[in-house]
Chain A
Amino acid sequence: MEVSPENEKRVRTRRSRVISRKIDRFFLALYDIFSFNVRFFKEVFLPPYEGKEIIRQCYEIGVRSLPLISLTGFIIGIVFMNQSRPSLAEFGATSWLPSLVSLAIVRALAPLVTALIGAGRIGSMIGAELGSMKVTEQIDAMEVSATNPFKFLVVSRVLATTFMIPALMMYTMLVALLGAYLNVSANEGTSFVTYFTQVFDAITFLDIFSSVIKSTLFGYTIGMVGCYKGYNSSKGTEGVGKAANSSVVTAMFLVFIEELLSLQVITALR
């Protein structure tokens, strides 16, 4: 078929219309996410406060994550110590192992591992829970019984993750350092006191402080993404699965981006 200039023009305008609709949708989604965040900050300060629900969520999110976090943190400590040994041994510098490992754990591993496990366990849980509540009209039911579902469900969960992820991160730090200690004491025979003196000599207050701040941001992100995806999940059971799945993927993606950005900021501060 011959392509007349007129025909080509028509195809091109149609294509550009599709693209412009896609761009519109992208910015609408962006605006939607922005207003969801704004609404959180508005409602978090306004009474009534859902204290009981926040505590329940902290328990659900924090305490219930302990077994998984303990195991992962511990193993990471052992493995990381073990894998770092050969490269330092080459220079006969195995005595530096505790300082090296403590830096890695405190600055990077503990926050990241906690956030990733949080995104996996907590993000999917929140996404699926709110998603199914949305789909089965439980959120509407809350609203018609004069309870603000945003406050009851979203604000409580986001606050809980924002508080609990840094707390879990500190715990991961300790457990990983303990795991690393077991490995180093078995291999090099380093004593507990020597090990921890070296560990704390290597790190500064800024290291811990920045990790806590970073984890707070990760926690907020995980809670926010899970709630947003769940709260806006489409109707039908398929929507619930999608909400859970994309909560995890999006939260992990954002955590890595934030990690990169905060690395820049902290390096500048140091």
Chain B
Amino acid sequence: MARKLPMYKAISEAIAQEMERDENVFVMGEDIGAYGGIFGATSGLLEKFGLDRVRDTPISESAFIGAALGAASKGMRPIVELMFVDFFGVAMDQIYNHIAKAHYMSGGQVKMPIVITTAIGGGYSDAAQHSQCLYGLFAHVPGLKIVIPSNSYDAKGLMISSIRDDNPVMYFFHKGLMGLGWMPSPEEAAVEVPEEPYTVPIGEAKVVREGDDVTIATVSRMVYEALWAAEELEKAGINAEVLDLRTLVPLDRKTLINSVKKTGRLLVVDEDYMSYGMSGEVITSVVEKVGNELKALPRRIAYPDVPVPYSRVLEKFVLPDKEKIIAAVKEMVQ
């Protein structure tokens, strides 16, 4: 049976079902117990599984994220939440020097079945230290899988895949997709979700709208900006294909390249910072293979290389959106 679920409930349901299936799965993080996670991703877990397996932590991130490594080395499958991606600086060493590298450095002896979850994204005036995406930063480090769902169906299936994966997975949920009520969220993100457990494979992009004129490749909340832009572009006679990359590591280059081969044009939309990030990687992946088949220069709309400003007017100016996508596509197709 499927029913419409907001993303936050789909995520907590996925975690609950995996905790029932596998007693090695447990959760740690700040305010993930009684509060159910500031963004609801662990709601109901404490009541179901108790304090041993649902552990509210002190604000000691390098300790509890590092502890995930130790627990994983003994066969546990920890899920650790750190509220906002902006806060990871304080625990970075455990992630990028240890969790990401342990399997490789140990010659494959050590497995790291860890899921690190966090909230991303702006658009509601939470300013420079609470609005970033930063998935590009983690995607840059070898050894971390990067998962970024855009709707509740994918959120549940990708969470189950992440928990079952023997590698560290960083799982990014956009605050503006969770369907929380107190934070604006597109209705389209809350879709039908089967009650029973299922997986969505890590490493498969999804064509969420078919078109022939241009490929818009993106992730997370920007999927909706792209879809809304595509609707309007259709009225102007332009057919945009929208590709939800869903995971950045591994990146589904095959689906991406096939789409661009068909449309001949590529626009990447990214809420993360422009330089040295997802947009550059996606464009390069295409240009390296089929650059000579392009009908227009590839383009990107990403967060300009500035911190996220607080004031609503400033933030709106820099945040990628439907209007910016429409303008760019029109220039590319002309």
A and B together in one complex: no
Spell out B's residues near A (CB within 8 Å).
none
Spell out A's residues near B (CB within 8 Å).
none
